[in-house]
Amino acid sequence: MHIARKRFGQNFLQDTQYIRACIEAIRPLPTDTLVEIGPGLGALTRPLLALVPHLHVVEIDRDLIARFQQTYPPTQLTVHAGDALEFDFASLGHDLRIVGNLPYNISTPLLFHLAQFAAHIRDLHFMLQKEVVDRMAAAPSTSAYGRLSVMLQYRFQILPLFDVPGSAFHPAPKVTSSFVRMLPLHPLPHIARDENLFSEIVSAAFSMRRKTLRNTLKAKLTQQDFQILGIDSGQRAENLGVADFVRITNYLHTL
């Protein structure tokens, strides 16, 4: 019996009702290039392999890696041993379908890492902490809206699908989870000419949530700049949409 390891953020999905709901949401086809992050005890792996001839999995836990390698031949299951935060998903090709019950302790950095490979991805289906999914999908001028919302909505359409109680997992987390679909936007509706600068501006704007843009972006924009942009410097970062942050980025880029 495998004991869940806290350092890997392991909470294994075990409720068959929710496992079935996840598989129905993913709707895998035999021709899909499917990649599962953190397969754990195989709750999603087994039903996925019943529907597709081959599956890639990325797993860091050596005991679980050994178990998968003993259970499935490499022609059916390719195990990529290592940290998903460092994995090159582009190495698996294009039109990837990525799924997983993501470890909550690395979910945000992992989502940012995956965003770099959006051009290689068809869709992503993830189990995440509900609070994280709420932030991912939040609209401007709401309390959940922040840096995560802007950075992911720049590149993805975020579609929360259903909530999952802690009792569906072992060990049971003290939080509710949500299953979410992420669809890369092709083409991007708003293109930042310098994506590093875009990230820098979004981070600076949300660095002090209660302060106005006049304060958080004073190192970047003067009052005259705000007037040229048609943005009220008395607003807070949470009041701006993705298009506004892109506009600020492209304005500064041209300067």
Residue 10 is predicted with a pLDDT of 56
For the domain made up of 6-184, give the CATH fold.
Answer: Rossmann fold (3.40.50)
For the domain made up of 195-254, give the CATH fold.
Answer: Helicase, Ruva Protein; domain 3 (1.10.8)
pTM of the complete model:
0.93
Is residue 154 a contact partner of residue 190, using CB atoms and an 8 Å limit?
A: yes
Domain residue extents for the chain: 6-184, 195-254
d(CA 91, CA 82): 14
pLDDT beneath 70: ranges in the chain: 1-10
CA angle 95, 126, 18 (to 5 degrees): 120
d(CA 216, CA 233): 10
